[in-house]
Structure 1
Amino acid sequence: SHERYLSNPEERRIYHSSMADYYLGIWAARPKPFQYSEQQRRMFNIESAESEADRKVPAQPLIFTISDATATVSTTPTVRYNLRKLSELPYQLIRSQREDDLYKNVLFNYDFMHAKLSCMPLNLCIFDYESALEFFFDKEVRLVSDALRLSSSVLASDPNNLICQVIGRLFPFYETCHKIASLIDQCESTGLQVMGLVPAFNTLASPGGPLVYSLEAHAFAVYGLEVISSGQSLLTVSNRFIVFDLSSGDIVRIIDPRIEGIMTYLALAPDQRYCVTTTISNQYIICSLLTGDFILRDYQPTGGNTTKTNSKTNTGQPTEPLLGAHTSNTHFVLWTAKMYQVYTNKGISFRY
């Protein structure tokens, strides 16, 4: 079908442009011009080839608001986002090579950005900017894309913070980049309907510097991290295991062992199938990175796996606190200031 209908680049661009017109709602509630063919003119005895007609094209708002007839004044109307428009319009405008419409209605349009962030993952919004850059490079598109990536952790939790992030990061470019200036103006006018806190100055890190994005998901300090999956993901530990996607900053997996305190050391197996961590409570955790299963055990200096011994002082501190760990594909070792102990990757004591 692609070879039959879309092999001609110009025809393909026209088809994409027509689809873009549909999602833009250009011909909604208004007549659309068309031309009669020569055969139609002779058949219906029409003099002029030019004509127009209302094609009953539906409007394409970003948000459909449904009001209940029985609702009271204080009842909030039901909001449904136009998912097809939010996903299709950028695609059609990019492939129809309509740069100006793409910038005006999508990439530098506050209402479109806020609606898409409210109903879709942030990486899909960033994907629109990255796709545009594949067809035509624009410095301002790159700046907004990088600003959204820097704000990923904040926008993922609350899209209404878009105003603060855009102005706080892009304000230095207001005088030199007119499309960014237009976006900031929209934030300061339309955006006030959802967020009243508007920065007056450049309060956040601007794009273009060494910081790409921040990974903010841990409630406590991170005491261990490792790059995994051939450089595609980052494993971090605090009181939970959290794996981030390094290409987007999104959270891939959260493993919560429900420990008291935090983990203090992380050791990753060479084949990256499992890892071992130690905690401030003198426990060790064996976690499978393939399945998410984990084994949590108290460290026993005597080498026993089940026998409980008094390994803490009167102050509650362990007499032999774990200082670190090291792993191979089949075994791992834990050590204190006085001794070390070897285990299999299933947690069975092997030698001490």
Structure 2
Amino acid sequence: MKQKYLKRVEDIRIAHRDIANYFLEAFIESKPLIDMNRNVQIRGDNGRRFILQQPLLYSEVAYNYRRLSELWYQLMHSGDIDRLKEYTLCCFEYLLSKIHGLSIEQLLWEFDIICSNILDADILLVQATLKTITNIISSNPMLLAGEIILRLKNIKSRYNEHIESLYVQAHEWCESCNTPVFVPLSSWISTIPPMTITILPCNDCVYKITPTTFNQHVFCATRQNEIAMYHIPS
């Protein structure tokens, strides 16, 4: 099917985007129908859309495992890094559901896959934070909010808005939680996790190096007038 209908890279990206939108409930009848290719609302939409809702939680104890298992994958391959962070990797409810419904090991394994395809400082920070607190939240996932607040409080201003949003979401979850939770009022942790991504194997002397627009690849020029391109995440 892929060889027949999805021959172009753009077609594959759009297919992944549409599947992600299904899990994000973009097509349910209570929401306006949007033409994703033009980003405009379709007027006069009188058709019935018999599409099941896809909440993250069906109840307090029943998770939507299809959404937990597939949403990150579809968003990653759609190429939309902002939505990947907004709805999964920097979304507190998603992270907590993933850890509580599956495991921290499963979540970190998915982070490894994502980081082998995408280079992003926010994603690397969340990954490093989760690795640091693995033993703590493995025994009690309810401690996730306090640990995120503790470790992001002093460094969140150095990152994009997704890290600030994750920090705020953790605070809001603590305020709405029905059981007592640990909420640090101050943080004694201010160290930014190491962000060394890779070491380029350049045998010849490199006199110029330039990253691409989205910082996923880098071009290196050698003294022998040769140009090499490297995919940084992998």
What is the TM-score normalised by the length of structure 1?
0.48
Partner of 1:118: 100
* Residues 1:201 and 2:176 aligned together: no
State how far apart, in whole Å, the 1-side matches of 2:8 and 2:180 are.
47
Corresponding position of 1:293: none
| 1:17-71, Cα deviation, whole Å (9 max, x unpaired) | 110010001122335367xxxxxxxxxxxxxx97532312111111112xxxxxx
The percent identity for this pair of structures is 25
Q: 1:132 to 1:51 in 2, by over 3 A?
A: farther
Alignment pair present for 1:134 and 2:128: no
Which blocks of at least 5 consecutive residues in structure 2 are unaligned?
36-41, 196-234
**2:180 & 2:73 partners in 1: Cα distance?**
29
What letter is aligned with 1:140?
A: D
Question: Equivalent residue of 1:113, what SS?
Answer: helix
Alignment partners' CA distance in 2, 1:166 and 1:99 = 21
Task: Check conservation: 2:145, 2:173, Cα contact below 8 A.
Answer: no
1: distance between equivalents of 2:192 and 2:108? Answer: 14
2:41 equivalent to 1:59: no
Q: What pairs up with 1:99-114 in 2 under 5 angstroms?
A: 99-114=81-96
In 1, Cα distance between the equivalents of 2:158 and 2:34? 40
Equivalent residue number for residue 179 of structure 1: 162
User: Any runs of at least 4 consecutive aligned residues in structure 1 with deviations exceeding 6 A, and if so which?
Assistant: none
* Bigger relative CO (Cα 8 Å, ≥ 6 apart): 2
Residue aligning to 2:130 = 148
Residues 191 and 129 (structure 1 numbering): CA distance in 2 closer, same or farther, change over 3 Å?
Answer: farther
- Structure 1 residue 161 corresponds to structure 2 residue 143: yes
| Paired residue secondary structure (1:91) | helix
Cα distance change of structure 1 residues 87 and 191 upon mapping to structure 2, 3 Å threshold: farther
* SS in structure 1 of the partner of residue 58 of structure 2: strand
1:138 to 1:209, Cα distance in 2 relative to 1, 3 A: closer
Are the counterparts in 2 of residues 33 and 50 from structure 1 also a CA contact under 8 Å?
Answer: no
In the aligned structure 1, how far is the partner of 2:103 from the partner of 2:192?
A: 21
Report the Cα offset of residue 158 of structure 1: 1.0
Q: Per residue, is there more helix in 1 or in 2?
A: 2
Name the CA distance, whole Å, in 2 between partners of 1:19 and 1:62.
15
- Deviations along 1:121-148, whole A, 9 cap, x unmatched? 2122123333332333111210110110
| 2-structure distance, mates of 1:153, 1:131 | 21
Q: How does 1:32-71 map to 2 (within 5 A)?
A: 32=33, 52=45, 53-65=47-59
Q: What's 1:13 paired with?
A: 13
Distance 1:195-1:207 versus aligned 2 partners, 3 A rule: farther
The one of 177, 190, 201 equivalent to 2:173 is 190
Are the equivalent residues in 2 in contact too, given 1:147–1:207 (CA < 8 A)?
A: no
Partner Cα separation in structure 2 for residue 64 and residue 28 of structure 1? 16
